[in-house]
């Protein structure tokens, strides 16, 4: 694979390098920022999350004054 990349024109090698670098950066972000919740008590049952996302919030009359 490496020999194939080295035989390609310069533009193709640079594009392949950029794609590989972006993939590595995205993996680093995924594992460092999004792998675990910040605290253990942040987990909620899926049914409660679905109900909160799908429910219509009540309108308060005080907000219209």
Each residue's pLDDT tens digit, 4-31: 666 778 888 899 999 999 999 999 998 8
Specify if 7 maps to a domain. yes
Specify if 10 maps to a domain. yes
Identify which of 25, 21, 18 has the alpha carbon closest to the alpha carbon of residue 10.
Answer: 18
For residue 1, what are the domain limits?
Answer: 1-36
Measured CA distances, 28 to 5, 18, 35, 44, 62 (Å):
24, 15, 10, 26, 46
Specify if 56 maps to a domain. no
What would the mean pLDDT of 39-61 be, rounded to a whole number? Answer: 78
Specify if 12 maps to a domain. yes
What would the mean pLDDT of 34-53 be, rounded to a whole number? Answer: 79
Residue 13 to residue 2: CA distance in whole angstroms:
10
Cβ atoms of 19 and 12 closer than 8 Å: no
Specify if 27 maps to a domain. yes
Residue 24: the pLDDT is 97
Average pLDDT in the chain: 80
Query: How many separate domains does the chain show?
Result: 1
């Amino acid at each position: 694979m490496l020999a194939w990349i080295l035989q390609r024109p310069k533009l193709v090698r640079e594009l392949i390098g950029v794609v590989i670098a972006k993939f590595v950066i995205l993996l680093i972000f995924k594992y460092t920022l999004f792998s675990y919740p910040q605290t253990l008590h942040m987990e909620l049952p899926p049914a409660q999350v679905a109900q909160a996302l799908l429910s219509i919030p009540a309108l308060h009359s005080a907000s219209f004054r």
